[in-house]
Amino acid sequence: MGPDRTAAILTLEKASRSNPGPWVDHSRYVAQACGCIASRCGGMCAERAYVLGLLHDIGRYARVSSERHLIDGYRLCVERGWEKAAQICISHAFMIQDIETSIGTFDVSREDYLFMERFVDVTIRYGVHPSTVDRRKKTLELKAYFEHKIGCSIYTLLPGVIENSFR
């Protein structure tokens, strides 16, 4: 059983007290975006998407960190039995399933790095191509996928984005 909205909000508030920062509002905006997009996609639960969005960066409760927040979040959610949230915490930096395409710093132990590596298939190597380009391409593919499902631009559903970015 995953967390409900109240549990997710309380967990985020507690995390915000232990390590305040812009990541907390970022999490709230991501949650709204996830909820808005999911509500327009057939077969997706907007409430669940909202809750999972709220928790995706929850590992930042522990400290200011880079990729370490992925595994810190994973562990927090596993402890609570929140399996899907745990999966999203550890995987959300890898839109390409190759750990080496991460653009963050692996501020984790060797053991933790190997643990995280198991979550991303190291099947494709990008050689000299900077991962940033592939990540951007993959992100645009995901955007196109959801825009096809919802039948409009994703930006029209993201709170504040049109006002803040296109005007």
By 3-state DSSP, what share of the chain in percent is helix, strand and coil, each rounded to 5?
65, 0, 35
Task: Decide whether 57 or 72 has the Cβ nearer to Fe ion.
Answer: 57
In angstroms, the Cα distances linking 152 to 31, 40, 43, 165 are: 19, 10, 17, 17
- 67 part of the interface to Fe ion, by CB under 5 A: no
CB atoms within 10 A of CB 43: 6
Shortest reach from residue 154's CB to Fe ion, in Å: 19
Residues 32, 161: Cα–Cα separation, whole Å: 12
Shortest reach from residue 40's CB to Fe ion, in Å: 24
- 112 part of the interface to Fe ion, by CB under 5 A: no
Task: Decide whether 35 or 74 has the Cβ nearer to Fe ion.
Answer: 74
- 57 part of the interface to Fe ion, by CB under 5 A: yes
Cα–Cα nearest to 56, from 41, 39, 34: 34
Task: Decide whether 99 or 150 has the Cβ nearer to Fe ion.
Answer: 99
Hey, which residues between 127 and 146 contact Fe ion (CB under 5 A)?
none
Shortest reach from residue 9's CB to Fe ion, in Å: 18
> What spatial distance separates the first Cα and last Cα of the chain, rounded to whole Å?
42
Shortest reach from residue 70's CB to Fe ion, in Å: 7
Residues that bind Fe ion (CB under 5 A): 57
